[in-house]
Structure 1
Amino acid sequence: MEFGQSASLSRNEVASLCMKAARGAGLSWGLAEEAGFAAEWLVHHGIDGPSHLYAHLDQAQGRAWCDLCPTVTPGEWRAPAGYALCPIALGATLCDYAGLPEGIKVGSSLKIGTVDHPVLLIPFLAGIAVSNDILFDIEWAGGTASLEGGHEALMQAVSVLGGQRVPIKLTARFGKPQAAKGGKALSISAETIAALNSLAMRTTVPSSESSRAGAGSTTTDND
């Protein structure tokens, strides 16, 4: 691929590349798989998930991933060290706690500390919504977005969340979300692919103190 050109990757290729990049950045294998899922889901719906994922992984370098995972308490979740939460770890944890007292359920709200690139949270919320007949409203200081399903609502949420880093509040109400149809084939920029490949290469060469000094260097493979 020539520099500056874009490429259309299959959904499996997106998931594989993003999973390896997330693992190279220090995420556990389990969370790396979730990162691949999130990026692939977004691409399938016409959103450049790989670029959002790389931006998040790049910004998180130098921090231990355990500091970016939520501390779960009823009604409010935050990162233990006051950092911006990893949206992948947050999304996976929301799925694990869906319907439980500490989690989100119909008729409840959940305050969440600052979240980095919350657009990466959308695939997880979409999965919870479909499985539990939930419609989500996301609130933050700059506005609100409703995830009611359907392509238009999805794109509106993505446009306002974008690359923000903000505290959010989730409110769940009963309803059957519309299925968001897949979008048109999405080309990924050569720069994004190269950046993700650079992270992915960390999983194929012997680790050194400098190459693994990024985020997650102190974590284990346990989810």
Structure 2
Amino acid sequence: MTGPSDPTRSGPPVPPKEVSEVQLSRNEIVALGTKAARGAGMEWGLAEEAGTAAGWLASMGLDGAGALLDQLQLAAGKGWPHICPVVARGRWRSAGSDPICPIALGATLCDFADLPEGIEDGDGLIIGPVSQPVLLLPFLAEIARRKAVLLELGWDDGTVLIGGSGQIDGDLAALHHANRILLRLSRRAGHGTWQDPAALRPISRQTMQKLTELAMKTTVPSTEASRAGAGAGTQDND
């Protein structure tokens, strides 16, 4: 439990019960998502990627915080061998029975972007199954920007286009609700028809509360010993 001025509190205070949504800045979402991912057991590097992805999606009008929370709950306590992709030319698969984590997948795709095992292959990639695949979009936007290409992410129920200037369009709502799906990633010729950027997406009170609970695991609560040693050791009456 935290009080109004508790120094262990992580991020903005959770709103009262009568408030259903709260508007955080992109930076606040990034910070909260990073700490929550670390609290759920992610290494700091991946946790930072996770927070950045949540903030990027919110800036595109998508519920990145909610998608991140779902992913953290699914993969809580699982290490890299359980969530990483097994890389092979043309087909990336999960290491076991668990779906590939989109954060681990996105980071790996960025690492392999210029290699034959990545999207350099003209036939593209079959990847999956992948959990919470909407979290993959920020990484694909970075690859598209870096390589100045148009990417297409497809699955059985739709497609999403990702442009080199960070634009996204397509079946975004369907992708947001998809989970544990097989993906097709490829380059696409031509130019996309882009929608105007959406407003920064607010997050639900429940999502914020659960992310804050995970973020609190990165803090060390105060103790009698720490409180007794706080403050100056001598008086200063000047």
**TM-score normalised over the length of structure 1:** 0.83
Amino acid at match of 1:98: A
Amino acid at match of 1:116: S
- The reply on whether 1:8 has 2:23 as its aligned counterpart is yes
78, 85, 95: which one aligns with 2:110: 95
Report the secondary structure of 2:170's partner residue.
helix
Q: Is the 8 Å Cα contact of residues 73 and 102 (structure 1) preserved in structure 2?
A: yes
Q: Is the 8 Å Cα contact of residues 43 and 49 (structure 1) preserved in structure 2?
A: yes
Deviation at 1:18, TM superposition (A): 0.1
Identical aligned pairs, as a percentage?
Answer: 45
- C-alpha RMSD of the superposition: 2.4
Task: Describe the shift of the 1:146–1:176 C-alpha distance in structure 2 as closer, same or farther (beyond 3 A).
Answer: closer
Deviation at 1:148, TM superposition (A): 4.1
Larger Rg: 1 or 2?
2
- The reply on whether 1:47 has 2:54 as its aligned counterpart is no
Aligned to 1:214: none
Task: Describe the shift of the 1:180–1:32 C-alpha distance in structure 2 as closer, same or farther (beyond 3 A).
Answer: farther
- The reply on whether 1:186 has 2:214 as its aligned counterpart is no
Deviation at 1:56, TM superposition (A): 1.0
Aligned to 1:117: 132
Aligned to 1:196: 211
The farther-off stretch of 175-184 and 13-22 is 175-184
- The reply on whether 1:161 has 2:175 as its aligned counterpart is yes
Deviation at 1:61, TM superposition (A): 2.5
Task: Describe the shift of the 1:155–1:52 C-alpha distance in structure 2 as closer, same or farther (beyond 3 A).
Answer: farther
Amino acid at match of 1:202: K
Report the secondary structure of 2:41's partner residue.
coil
Deviation at 1:145, TM superposition (A): 3.0
Q: Is the 8 Å Cα contact of residues 106 and 172 (structure 1) preserved in structure 2?
A: no
Q: Is the 8 Å Cα contact of residues 107 and 174 (structure 1) preserved in structure 2?
A: no
Deviation at 1:203, TM superposition (A): 0.9
Deviation at 1:80, TM superposition (A): 1.0
**How many residues get paired?**
205
Deviation at 1:107, TM superposition (A): 2.7
Task: Describe the shift of the 1:76–1:174 C-alpha distance in structure 2 as closer, same or farther (beyond 3 A).
Answer: same
Deviation at 1:4, TM superposition (A): 4.5
**Structure 2: how far apart are the matches of 1:178 and 1:93?**
28
The farther-off stretch of 28-37 and 141-150 is 141-150
Amino acid at match of 1:24: G
Gaps of 5+ in 1: 207-223
Q: Render the CA deviation track for 1:13-40: whole Å, top value 9, x for unaligned.
A: 1100000000111111000000011001
Deviation at 1:205, TM superposition (A): 3.6
**Structure 1: how far apart are the matches of 2:214 and 2:102?**
18
Amino acid at match of 1:60: A
Amino acid at match of 1:104: I
Aligned to 2:44: 29
**Structure 1: how far apart are the matches of 2:45 and 2:196?**
27
Q: Render the CA deviation track for 1:149-184: whole Å, top value 9, x for unaligned.
A: 789x73533212113120111111355668876421
**Structure 2: how far apart are the matches of 1:180 and 1:66?**
38
Higher relative CO (CA 8 A, sep ≥ 6), structure 1 or 2?
1
- The reply on whether 1:79 has 2:91 as its aligned counterpart is no
The 5 A counterparts of 1:199-214 are 199-205=214-220
Q: Is the 8 Å Cα contact of residues 117 and 162 (structure 1) preserved in structure 2?
A: yes
Amino acid at match of 1:57: L
Report the secondary structure of 1:104's partner residue.
coil
